[in-house]
A and B are shown apart, each in its own frame.
Chain A
């Protein structure tokens, strides 16, 4: 218990640190004190506190950086808990939020959205996002139904149909990209993921998915632990394995689809964060889920800050997550693998 408390305090301190640094970094440098004043003032409604600052500075912090950081936090967190869920349910440490073909479904949807040049907004979601969301859900639906045998969803068939679907859709995507070279850049950027220009309305778009998703997954946290023993053992221990599996697979898929529709495909976070957290606190989902959310969120904020501030041009954040995450993960794996696998 003492260890947990320490870990919690440490994590809070780290998160506040990451937030502050991220807010202050960027094309315009803003001091930590000014940032605290702006945020405190906005939240408490007392705008006099930061009246000494230029309006543009306030705007950059409150309307551009702050919401973008929150979105990063949510996207990282959502991808991470989806990763936790997939790794647990599929009993496969290589599973990630995209393992069932969600990424290729979303990418294909987004690509069709991009080349169709239709543009409108519903509740802050543009057509591309809506297409991505729809593509992701459609693919999951198809993959589940290919894999399903009566009431059961065997892990192997699920993984295989996901991989097969993924390859198939990627081939279609490549063909579309080849035939539409004018949009090549835009499609490429989308598939590498970016949080550029995400404001308050994006938060509203993903908040329900993140919140509801987390509640559902936490409700089944103990069942997810037991499902790691195998479906049959889980049933013998009183878990309605087939039903629970279905609910949490759908939940994780919707979480993934929602985050992809906002940010594009950001790889690696959902794969490595669950492993990193598991290395420190073990495989129990009741702790693994919330801590993965926070860790994944923090990691995403760091990566996005780097993506937007390291060079003048924005780098797709998916590139940063892979470049930073890869070696870091390998380092931790080397040090702690004996306890985890």
Chain B
């Protein structure tokens, strides 16, 4: 495959600080590359080096020739750059801003191929949905519209390579997706090579062929999204906890940011949670973040609560779907209950199989149990309601009507 950009031993130092450290990578023709990394990692600096706007050391080859040897005009015929939208000091009309994209093809103040020129400008405006705006003043547009106009200008440049510098950060969800899909189509249908700094990791994960992940001026990983997007890589660089799961609908690794790493002391209180059907997600996640030791179960595999446990690496006693709890599961369960200071029963509904969780609790007369209220949880002819009522009579059982009460009880039990 043809390598359109080759970077070798790229270093960039400014004011005595080394911003980029020994960067090496290649980009193939027609690839969609995302650059990700935390703020200050050097993403924008890297892009400025790639577009030859900074004085770096090392080699950057564009189409087999050092990029420094290109004149600005030659270079602008191969690479176009879409910056973040900005305000102009004087107010141009939208059409005039888009026309500036044709500047590299201007010779002595005139453009040679007038027809082609016109159609490229027109197409760029149609593709970006800016044709209706053509006679409006640029500065009077909204942020999203400005971004689309600037994108149209880059498209009018008709280049092999398009660079995007966090273009979606000022856009709402709709316009973010609109721009990214537009660029993605350009990449897939016209073979344009795309290099984009991505602010949104999920967008990067979903659309990229490969991801350059940089941190502290160095490339941490450069690979396909499935390899780059993992908790170990990201949580270290971004200093936060996150959850990564397969988005089956759109087929990509989805990142769910949880919280920034705080130094919460590990609690030596162990809590067991009886849940299911998604009733445990929030409670599990919150207690986990407060560094409680947690176990969950017994719960049927495939339940969304199981998935949360798996992604947070929490002990979870599972049983095959729609089946009776096995002896092994029951033994594990009893073991966990024994070792727990508190047992939480979420507002999970009870049926033929999971009622066993409640039944087994009978043995533990002296346990702290917190039950979350639910009027409509009995799917077994009143059997579970009766059990709950029995439990409520005990001294160490607390009945919480909402989540706040539930967490208050946890704090109270010392």
- Measuring CB to CB, which residues of chain A are less than 8 angstroms from any residue of chain B? 87-88, 91-93, 150, 219, 221-222, 225-226, 228-230, 232-233, 235-241, 278, 282-284, 338-341
Contact = CB atoms under 8 A, between A and B. Distances in A.
Contacts, number: 78
A241 B73 CA distance: 11
B91 A238 contact: no
Contacts of A282: 91-93, 96
B83 A222 contact: no
A229 B86 CA distance: 9
B20 interface: no
Contacts of B92: 225, 228, 282-284
Given A232-B53, A341-B139, A237 B90 contact: no
Nearest to B137: A339
Interface in B166-211: none
Given A88-B90, A235-B52, A341-B139, 7 more contacts: A225-B100, A229-B88, A233-B81, A238-B73, A238-B77, A282-B91, A340-B90
A93 B100 contact: no
28 contacts: A87-B89, A88-B90, A221-B109, A222-B106, A226-B100, A228-B89, A230-B86, A232-B81, A235-B52, A235-B72, A236-B51, A236-B79, A236-B80, A237-B101, A237-B104, A237-B153, A237-B157, A238-B72, A238-B76, A238-B77, A239-B103, A282-B91, A282-B93, A283-B90, A284-B96, A338-B140, A339-B91, A341-B91
B47 to A, nearest CB: 11
A93 B72 contact: no
Contact of A226 (B53, B55, B71, B103): B103
B51 to A, nearest CB: 6
B392 interface: no
B75 interface: yes
A78 to B, nearest CB: 21
Contacts of B139: 341
B77 A235 contact: no
Enumerate the 7 nearest inter-chain pairs by beta-carbon distance, A residue then B residue, closest first.
A238-B76, A238-B104, A283-B90, A238-B73, A91-B89, A236-B81, A237-B103
Contact of B109 (A222, A230, A278): A222
Interface string B132-148: 00000101100000000
Contacts of A87: 89-90
A278 to B, nearest CB: 6
A235 B104 CA distance: 10
B171 to A, nearest CB: 19
A92 B88 CA distance: 10
B5 to A, nearest CB: 15
A282 B106 CA distance: 21
A228 B88 contact: yes
B90 A278 contact: yes
A238 B103 contact: yes
A340 B91 contact: yes
Contacts of B93: 282
Contacts of B53: 232, 235-236
A63 B272 CA distance: 106
Contacts of A229: 88, 97, 100
Nearest to A90: B89
A240 B81 contact: no
A2 B109 CA distance: 22
A3 to B, nearest CB: 13
B256 to A, nearest CB: 35
A228 B87 CA distance: 10
A241 B55 CA distance: 15
A92 B101 CA distance: 23
Contact of B103 (A150, A222, A341): A222
A93 B219 CA distance: 43
Contacts of B83: 232-233
A228 B90 contact: yes
A92 B77 contact: no
Contacts of B89: 87, 91-93, 228
A218 B48 CA distance: 30
A338 B136 CA distance: 12
Nearest to A151: B55
Contacts of A278: 90
Nearest to A341: B91
Interface string B95-111: 01100110110100100
A122 to B, nearest CB: 37
Interface string B47-87: 01001110100000000000000011101110111010010
A228 B72 CA distance: 17
Contact of B72 (A92, A221, A239, A283): A239
A219 B53 CA distance: 25
Interface string B19-61: 0000000000000000000000000000010011101000000
A341 B93 CA distance: 12
A51 to B, nearest CB: 49
Nearest to B154: A236
Contacts of B97: 229
A81 B139 CA distance: 24
Contact of A240 (B71, B96, B140): B71
A238 B93 CA distance: 21
A241 B76 CA distance: 13
Interface string B267-281: 000000000000000
A222 B101 CA distance: 12
B42 to A, nearest CB: 17
B105 to A, nearest CB: 8
A178 B139 CA distance: 49
Contacts of B101: 237
